[in-house]
Amino acid sequence: MKNSLICTILTACLFASPSYADQQQTQANLKILLGELLHLEQQLDALPQSKNTITPGSKYRIKKGDSLGGIAKRAYGETNIKLGLVMELIISNNPSAFFRNNGNFIYADKVISIPSVNDFRAMLFSGDTVSLLNKNEDNSQWIRFP
């Protein structure tokens, strides 16, 4: 069974908290999280393109009969990323395409942005991911869970 990116994120963030881990363990968990994002890029590059595939990072015009879950699956269905996370990012990046930001009420003929791997990075990190691995950097911008 594939590990989902969200499980890795929650695990890495839980153990990245200074109250649960030392600096070395924090660095190791952060590298795992960044590695999962790199692995996602590799998975997307390896996906065969078909007529029904939606390219991550592109624009897509919603057609009559489309669902948010269907769109997310066509873009990221064969990867390790949790589709719920993809749908959440689609809604937050395209609020005018959904009635009251509800994924169940999607407007046909709206053009939406399909999230890219960089959109996931921006959602997960508020700073430069390379600087997060530097031991001398301030960790006040890190994601903490809970």
Answer for the pair 78, 67: CB distance below 8 angstroms, yes or no: no
Range of the domain at 118: 5-132
With respect to residue 103, please indicate whether it lies within any of the assigned structural domains. Answer: yes
More confident residue, 95 or 136: 95
Nearest CA-CA partner of 107 in 52, 54, 66, 57: 66
Residue 119 has pLDDT above 70, yes or no: yes
Of 29-33, 69-73, 85-89, 104-108, give the lowest mean pLDDT range. 29-33
First-to-last CA distance in the chain?
Answer: 26
- The whole-number average pLDDT for the span 112-133 is 73
Quote the number of domains for the chain. Answer: 1
Q: Which residues contact 94 (CB under 8 A, 6 or more apart)?
A: 110, 112, 113
Residue 73 belongs to a domain:
yes
- Structure tokens given for 109: 């003929």
35/106 Cα distance (integer angstroms): 33
Parallel/antiparallel/unpaired status of strands 59-61 and 111-113: antiparallel
Residue 64 lies inside a defined structural domain of this protein = yes
Instruction: Assess if residue 141 is contained within a domain.
Output: no
The reply to whether 79 falls in a domain is: yes
pLDDT tens digits for range 1-23: 334 444 444 444 444 445 455 66
The pLDDT tens digits for 32-67 are 666 676 677 777 776 667 667 888 889 999 999 999
pLDDT higher than 90, residue 76: no
| CA–CA dist 57, 120 (Å, integer) | 11
**Cα four-point dihedral sign 26, 28, 30, 33:** negative
